[in-house]
């Protein structure tokens, strides 16, 4: 068996990538799925489309590599986190579309929970998370409260609840015909339902949200045998041995195994994770405490995380909603037609502001406009918005961890944008490193899957496989950096209190 397969189910697409024992991708396939936007602030996906796309990309990837199930040692899954599915255990039919992590419809419920005591920190000591629309628990409660008959069916034991990893695991291992209902600690830690310390579901929080515990999947480690593939002929009999939320998978793929190591994934959103070792470090600066990974029966590794809702999706918005570019890579070309942002700053608070602000009342704003500002300046402001938001998160991380970041390992779709990477190094005033293999989310799932079956010997072997492709060194004058940061902070303040709270 010469390959490990990774299923990477993301916010905009589903991919399957095969990796060899050097951690090199050898074949892949990808399918986008529809973004369903029924109301302002609502974002949904069709779980059936995601499952259909998963079947297609697995078959295509194996066909492109010219291999079959006998060549695959194991399968790992990584997924968009917090996105929530409720489905019928007997038919496999979802009772509603998947509610995506970006969705803000649960804002009223979140505020009501905070108003009963404790405010936004009501569950933070237990879960490591603030009360926010971001997480899965309130999304599941909304489905039970708003889909006819759903709550009664859930209380009878007819419905299952899970994040996308659980949905895929259940379908891959048989669906209604005996599929396993599992999740891993990293995904469970994003539901706002798991006790971060005991790694088990918290009955009191589930009770507050009206979620029957029987709906919830069993929590397992991130790297162990969960079951075998039964519903895909191309992978029939292959063990499924890993599941990690996408940002934890990227952390694992970047081999950030030691406390103090950090990575940032530049994707639909941005996610900075700092390994804090076996300590679940709290945050006083708007960060999340989360499980980074757990290997088999070992103690889990924890992380501090800064989650940014809109980065790569802002480029998509510029392409799809405004039509200023035809393809995402064209934004760099357009931005390079000008020397700077022309005084324009774009704060993409389309779904509120995530870390370190956690303000659901914020909405997007483009400020500093004059008649001088043109398309190139707008493109540059869009790119710079990502780097500014990352700087805010890193500042919070440095304060919470009591140390200064010395380098940032970067991955994700936007790391090919060299203008952005240089501006990021300039704003952070530390080197930004791009690895040789940038598909670190899928790679992390493959690494964790391979470890479970002995495809790789251990973490030391994986760390030795990491190789640098390019680094960007800071070159911005300190006074320029401070001026830009001041202007950005002013722009952020303009976005607040836009939603009136009704």
**Binding site residue list for ADP:** 11, 15, 268, 312, 413, 417
Counting beta carbons within 10 angstroms of the beta carbon of residue 26, is it exposed (0 to 12), middle (13 to 18) or buried (19 or more)? Answer: middle
Where would I find the H helices in 116-202?
A: 124-127, 136-146, 150-155, 164-172, 185-188
β 44-45/98-99 pair status: antiparallel
β 239-245/262-266 pair status: unpaired
For residues 298, 300, 301, 302, the Cα torsion angle rounded to the nearest 10 degrees is: -170
Of 219, 239, 243, nearest in space to 227 by CA: 239
Contacts of 410 (CB under 8 A, 6+ apart): 263, 264, 265, 266, 421, 424, 432, 433, 434
Distance CA 318, CA 311 (A): 11
Distance CA 294, CA 314 (A): 33
Write out the binding residues for ATP: 11-13, 268, 312, 316, 413
Counting beta carbons within 10 angstroms of the beta carbon of residue 338, is it exposed (0 to 12), middle (13 to 18) or buried (19 or more)? Answer: middle
Contacts of 3 (CB under 8 A, 6+ apart): 18, 19, 20, 26, 65, 67, 71, 72, 73
Structure tokens at 215: 């709906």
Write out the binding residues for glycerol: 81-82, 134, 246-247
Q: What is the chain's percent helix, strand, coil content, to nearest 5?
A: 35, 25, 40
Write out the binding residues: 11-13, 15, 81-82, 134, 246-247, 268, 312, 316, 413, 417
Distance CA 435, CA 444 (A): 13
Q: Which residue has the tokens 């505020």?
A: 111
Distance CA 204, CA 222 (A): 25
User: Going edge to edge, which strands form the sheet with 270-277?
Assistant: 288-293, 301-308, 270-277, 262-266, 408-411, 432-435, 468-472
Write out the binding residues for sn-glycerol 3-phosphate: 11, 81-82, 134, 246
3-state secondary structure of 371: coil
Helices 246-253, 440-452: crossing angle, 10 deg rounding = 80
Distance CA 491, CA 372 (A): 18
Q: How many helices (H) and strands (E) does the chain have?
A: 16, 23
Where would I find the H helices in 413-499?
A: 418-428, 440-452, 459-465, 478-494
């Amino acid at each position: 068996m010469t390959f490990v397969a990774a299923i990477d189910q993301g916010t905009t697409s589903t991919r399957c990538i095969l990796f060899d024992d050097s951690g090199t991708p050898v074949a892949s396939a990808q399918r986008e799925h529809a973004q369903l936007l029924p109301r302002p602030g609502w974002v949904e996906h069709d779980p059936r489309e995601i499952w259909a796309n998963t079947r297609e990309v697995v078959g295509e990837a194996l066909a492109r590599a010219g291999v079959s199930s006998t060549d695959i040692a194991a399968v790992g899954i990584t997924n968009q986190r917090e996105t929530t599915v409720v489905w019928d255990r007997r038919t496999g039919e979802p009772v509603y579309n998947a509610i995506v992590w970006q969705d803000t419809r649960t804002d009223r419920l979140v505020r009501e929970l905070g108003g009963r005591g404790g405010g936004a920190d009501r569950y933070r000591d237990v879960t490591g998370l603030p009360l926010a629309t971001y997480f899965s628990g309130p999304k599941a409660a909304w489905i039970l409260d708003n889909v006819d008959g759903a709550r009664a069916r859930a209380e009878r034991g007819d419905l299952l609840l899970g994040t996308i990893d659980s949905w895929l695991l259940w379908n891959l291992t048989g669906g209604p015909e005996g599929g396993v209902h599992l999740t891993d600690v990293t995904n469970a830690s994003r539901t706002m339902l798991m006790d971060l310390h005991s790694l088990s579901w918290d009955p009191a929080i589930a009770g507050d949200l009206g979620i029957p515990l029987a709906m919830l999947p069993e929590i397992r480690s991130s790297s162990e045998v969960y079951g075998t593939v039964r519903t895909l002929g191309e992978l029939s009999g292959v063990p499924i041995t890993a599941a990690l939320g996408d940002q934890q998978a990227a952390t694992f793929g970047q081999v950030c195994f030691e406390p103090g190591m950090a990575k940032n994934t530049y994707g639909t959103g941005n996610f900075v994770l700092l390994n804090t070792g076996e300590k679940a470090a709290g945050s006083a600066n708007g960060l999340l405490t989360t499980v980074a990974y757990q290997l088999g029966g070992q103690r889990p590794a924890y992380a501090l995380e800064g989650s940014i809702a809109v980065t790569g999706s802002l480029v998509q918005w510029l392409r799809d909603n405004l039509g200023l570019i035809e393809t995402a890579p064209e934004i760099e070309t357009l931005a390079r037609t000008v020397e700077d942002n022309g005084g324009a700053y774009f704060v993409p608070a389309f779904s509120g502001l995530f870390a370190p602000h956690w303000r659901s009342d914020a909405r997007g704003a483009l400020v500093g406009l004059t008649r001088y500002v043109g398309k190139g300046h707008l493109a540059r402001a869009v790119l710079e918005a990502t780097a500014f938001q990352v700087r805010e998160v890193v500042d919070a991380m440095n304060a919470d961890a009591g140390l200064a970041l010395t380098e940032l390992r970067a991955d994700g779709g936007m790391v090919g944008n060299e203008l952005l990477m240089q501006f990021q190094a300039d704003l952070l005033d530390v080197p930004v490193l791009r690895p040789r293999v940038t598909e670190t989310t899928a790679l992390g799932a493959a690494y964790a899957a391979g470890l479970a079956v002995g495809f790789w010997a251990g973490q030391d072997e994986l760390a030795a496989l990491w190789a640098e492709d390019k680094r960007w060194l800071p070159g911005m004058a300190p006074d320029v950096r401070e001026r830009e940061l001041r202007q950005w902070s002013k722009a952020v303040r303009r976005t607040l209190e836009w939603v009136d709270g009704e």
